A = this chain, B = another copy of it.
Amino acid sequence: MKVVARNGKEMGEVKLFRTWSSPYALMIVWALKLKGVEFETVYEDLANKSSLLLEYNPIHKKVPVLLHNGTPICESLVILEYIDETWSSSTRFLPEDPLARATARFWAKFNYEQLTTSVYKVYVSQGVEQEEAKGHALENLDIVEKQLTGKKFFSGETFGFLDLVFGWIANYLGIFEETGGVKLLEEKRFPHISAWKENFSEIPVIKENWPDREKLITKFQLMREHFISTAAAK
């Protein structure tokens, strides 16, 4: 039976399949907590995926997966909009105006398809290749910097959809920088991103739900070594 939940009291059964370290899954944790949705967490080990994860996300076999009253919803941006539309009586993440919504969706796409890809490339490369990747990542960060000029959050004075989407910058970017050995977010070049990072990190739900920094460093350091040695073996 499908329970359509429209308020905090009647929200049905919500489960989140995640890993402790995935930034995509963390964004969903933030979204659910900001909406006041109670949920059960199922931690996955991606080296040994559960049969439930494979059943719920047979196409991509990835986290996050949101299970709502037994129905799986996959892909983090899709889940984020689902959460916003389902628990719509509390603050909306996306604005109401179609043009403002289109703008938010445009930048979300930019984040996933352009910015994260370019930063990730810096993290998994070295030498000349990494220098080139750094150039692309900085150009993309310049674009984000411009978006944040004169604003506290991405949509202005209030926290919203794009803050969740770009939220990984506030913590994971530092992990990628440290493990990849490349500084990207210099405050002098990126004063608005740096200021946003402070504003964002002060929000209680965000502050209270960062994964342990040392554990992340260890994990991403090992992952980087693995990528580099695999690439070298080819």
Contacts and interface: CB of A to CB of B under 8 A. Distances in A.
A59 B102 contact: no
Interface in A87-111: 97-99, 101-102, 105-106, 109-110
Size category of the binding interface on chain A: 20 to 34
Given A59-B143, A143-B59, A81 B106 contact: no
B75 A106 contact: yes
Given A59-B110, A110-B59, A71 B99 contact: yes
B101 A81 contact: yes
If over half of A's interface residues share one DSSP class (helix, strand or loop), that class is named, otherwise mixed; here it is helix
Interface of A: 2, 4, 59, 68, 71, 73-75, 77-79, 81-82, 85-86, 97-99, 101-102, 105-106, 109-110, 114, 143
B97 A4 contact: yes
A88 B14 CA distance: 31
Contacts of A75: 105-106, 109
Contacts of A78: 102, 105-106, 109
A82 B94 CA distance: 13
